[in-house]
Amino acid sequence: MSGSFLVLWFAGLSGTLVAEPLSEVQGVPLAPLLLLGGGVGLLAVTLVLRRQRSRDADLTLDSAAVDGLTRVASHRAFQDRLAHECDRAYRFGDTFMLLMLDLDDFHLVNNRLGHRVGDRILLDLATRLRAQLREIDLVARYGGDRFAVILPHTYPKGGLEAAERMRQHVARWVFVGGQAQEIRLTVSVGLCSYPADGATPQELVSAAEKALAFAKAMGGNQVQLWHDTPAVDAQENVVPLTRSSRGAIVRSLAAAVDLRDGYTHQHSRFVSELSAAVARRIGLAASEVARIAVGALLHDVGKIGVPDSILTKEGSLSSEEWACVRKHPVLGKQILEQAPELTDVIPLVLHHQERYDGSGYPQRLRGEDIPLGARIIAAADAYHAIRSNRPYRSGRTHHEAVLELRRCSGTQFDPQVLSTMLWVLEEEEELRYLAPWPAEAAEVASATTSSGAPPLAAPFPWPRA
């Protein structure tokens, strides 16, 4: 069989494998054909391998640039883009903003619903955030539940507005957990500006992270610009405000509450004035009256950490939403702990939701175990809340508020404090007129015995120091 080749081929419909020696095909020598065919086959295999290597390289590049979970830019892509923006802004004398966003208490979602649900929520959140931004902006997953956003050609005012819009959107969005369970989240944002707050990627990241830490320390669900934050010395997660006076701190915190809810601002101002008037009527020292006035002004500061969707919800709250609202005294305590100048008002903020019969929160204190200032704030808080229009009900008249408060005397309220407060409201009419005035009460000038309200008893005598 010199010059012959053993050729394998399939014969017949049965596909039987046949082997026979061949030396030529239709008079053409078989050896050159097989050599030519082998060369073509080798070339084809080579091209296929090259294309596969190219696809593998593209996939590797894509995995480095895109976060595998959220499908937004990866941490590496963020670092590259940040360095590029620093170079570009330096060359052209431009500015840009860097934002760091961190979900508040997201670990609770993972612990309660599992990481699979948590990952799905992160993907949904990243997709929604990307849709809120311009084409030239970058949103990247920085790590865990933290995202970074670069806003080119943007000044601090525009950056603050964009950050606040994102915060509000996240607070309003509803995410779906297991078994169609609704999940609501809040986000804290720290931001900084190039070149005012840093000229290198490392300086900018540090500034944004410190602004974010301050936003978290102040209760979360808020935006903080690094340039506007007080001096920060983050030791053991405490942010001392050494450059601010007590009055400046109080005004800053009150302004933060006002930004969240205009009602809360008016409410806190009235509760502060009424609480101070009651404290003076009781005969407390001027320093104690001032302390109670500050505690009353800041009693709702913990609501900074409550989602907007809950604060402004029309209709009744679910059990989970109520649980979120009931955290606000503890959140308020945590916020005030960051300012050593306000240590003395922490007990008033923490305990203003306690009830005289021991059924309140957060510590279920009873009777005189509740600080006197907190008992005063609780009564003033309830009076203004009853008088106010809220998304879920209309405000009531002074007369109706008095009847409701008296019904709860001895259970929700300290009887002596309540009696004194009602007496103050009768004696100091300007305070009563500061309260909301429902339209249906326009014909009622004041709560008097002729209107059917029971006569007010004189306040209990208070022991004087």
From CA 454, how far away is CA 449, in angstroms rounded?
6
Instruction: Determine the 3-state secondary structure of 22 from DSSP.
Output: strand
Query: Would you tell me the crossing angle of helices 286-297 and 262-282 to the nearest 10 degrees?
Result: 160
Contact status, residue 332 vs residue 349, Cβ threshold 8 Å: yes
Contact status, residue 380 vs residue 274, Cβ threshold 8 Å: yes
From CA 292, how far away is CA 289, in angstroms rounded?
5
DSSP 176: E
Query: For residue 86, what are its two tokens?
Result: 């620093």
70 falls within a domain? no
460 falls within a domain? no
From CA 84, how far away is CA 73, in angstroms rounded?
15
Query: For residue 255, what are its two tokens?
Result: 């302004």
Give me the domain span that covers residue 40. 5-65
Contact status, residue 331 vs residue 321, Cβ threshold 8 Å: no
Angle (CA) 433 439 444, round 5°: 55
Q: Quote the pLDDT of residue 124.
A: 96
Query: For residue 215, what are its two tokens?
Result: 């936003």
Highest mean pLDDT among 31-40, 217-226, 264-273, 455-464: 217-226
295 falls within a domain? yes
Q: Are residues 128 and 266 in the same domain?
A: no
What is the band of 119 on the pLDDT scale with cuts at 50, 70, 90? very high
- Give the position of tokens 């409550």: 306
H runs (alpha helix) in 173-217: 201-217
**Number of domains within the chain:** 3
pLDDT digits (tens, 9 = 90+) for 190-219: 999 999 999 999 999 999 999 998 888 777
From CA 80, how far away is CA 328, in angstroms rounded?
40
Other CB atoms within 10 Å distance of the CB of residue 150 = 23
Give the CATH number for residue 399: 1.10.3210.10
Please give the span between the terminal C-alpha atoms of the chain, in angstroms, as a whole number.
127
pLDDT digits (tens, 9 = 90+) for 41-74: 555 545 555 666 555 544 444 668 999 999 999 9
Q: Quote the pLDDT of residue 237.
A: 37
Q: Are residues 414 and 353 in the same domain?
A: yes
**pLDDT exceeds 50 at position 234:** no
DSSP 66: B
pTM: 0.54
Query: For residue 155, what are its two tokens?
Result: 């000044």
Q: Are residues 363 and 325 in the same domain?
A: yes
Q: Are residues 306 and 196 in the same domain?
A: no
Contact status, residue 162 vs residue 151, Cβ threshold 8 Å: yes
Q: Quote the pLDDT of residue 339.
A: 80
pLDDT digits (tens, 9 = 90+) for 126-165: 999 999 999 999 999 999 999 999 999 999 999 999 999 9
- Neighbouring residues of 49: CB distance < 8 A, sequence distance ≥ 6: none
Smallest CA-to-CA distance from 221 within 275, 154, 164 is with 164
Among 65, 89, 113, the domain-final residue is 65
pLDDT digits (tens, 9 = 90+) for 66-106: 999 999 999 999 999 999 999 999 999 999 999 999 999 89
Percent of the chain with pLDDT over 90: 48
- Give me the mean pLDDT over the 305-327 stretch: 82
**pLDDT exceeds 70 at position 169:** yes
**pLDDT exceeds 50 at position 446:** no
pLDDT digits (tens, 9 = 90+) for 403-430: 999 999 999 999 999 999 999 998 877 7
From CA 374, how far away is CA 351, in angstroms rounded?
6
Q: Are residues 57 and 91 in the same domain?
A: no
* Type and span of the H or E element at 17: strand 16-22
Q: Are residues 292 and 419 in the same domain?
A: yes
Give the CATH number for residue 208: 3.30.70.270
Q: Are residues 43 and 124 in the same domain?
A: no
Q: Are residues 51 and 159 in the same domain?
A: no
**pLDDT exceeds 50 at position 235:** no
239 falls within a domain? no
Rg (CA), the chain: 35
Among 46, 65, 84, the domain-final residue is 65
pLDDT digits (tens, 9 = 90+) for 323-376: 888 999 999 998 888 888 888 999 999 999 999 999 999 999 999 999 999 999
What is the band of 448 on the pLDDT scale with cuts at 50, 70, 90? very low
Q: Are residues 174 and 46 in the same domain?
A: no
- Give me the mean pLDDT over the 290-305 stretch: 89
More confident residue, 269 or 205: 205
Query: Would you tell me the crossing angle of helices 156-172 and 115-132 to the nearest 10 degrees?
Result: 140
Asked which of 18-32, 300-314, 352-366 is least confident by mean pLDDT, the reply is: 18-32
The overall average pLDDT reported for the chain is: 80
11 falls within a domain? yes
Dump strand ranges (E) for 105-186: 138-143, 146-152, 175-176, 182-183
Other CB atoms within 10 Å distance of the CB of residue 354 = 25
462 falls within a domain? no
What is the band of 1 on the pLDDT scale with cuts at 50, 70, 90? very low
Q: Quote the pLDDT of residue 439.
A: 42
- Neighbouring residues of 241: CB distance < 8 A, sequence distance ≥ 6: 230, 231, 249, 338, 339, 340, 341
The CB-side HSE value for 404 (13 A sphere, CA atoms) comes to: 15
Q: Are residues 46 and 84 in the same domain?
A: no
* Type and span of the H or E element at 76: helix 75-92
Q: Quote the pLDDT of residue 45.
A: 47
- Give me the mean pLDDT over the 307-320 stretch: 79
Q: Quote the pLDDT of residue 392.
A: 65
More confident residue, 214 or 253: 214
29 falls within a domain? yes
- Neighbouring residues of 434: CB distance < 8 A, sequence distance ≥ 6: 270, 273
- Neighbouring residues of 383: CB distance < 8 A, sequence distance ≥ 6: 274, 401, 405, 421, 425, 435
Q: Are residues 53 and 104 in the same domain?
A: no
319-351 exposure pattern, b = at least 16 Cβ within 10 A, e = fewer: eebeebbebbbbbbbbbbebbebbeebbbbbbb
Q: Quote the pLDDT of residue 32.
A: 59
Contact status, residue 305 vs residue 104, Cβ threshold 8 Å: yes
Strand partners, 139: 149
Q: Quote the pLDDT of residue 36.
A: 56
From CA 328, how far away is CA 215, in angstroms rounded?
16
Q: Quote the pLDDT of residue 241.
A: 41
Q: Quote the pLDDT of residue 244.
A: 43
**pLDDT exceeds 90 at position 117:** yes
237 falls within a domain? no
**pLDDT exceeds 60 at position 20:** no
- What are the φ/ψ torsions at residue 391 (nearest 5 degrees)? -55, -25
Q: Are residues 335 and 441 in the same domain?
A: yes
Tell me the pairing of strands 187-194 and 96-103.
antiparallel
Query: For residue 111, what are its two tokens?
Result: 């612990």
* Type and span of the H or E element at 187: strand 187-194
Among 175, 195, 229, the domain-final residue is 229
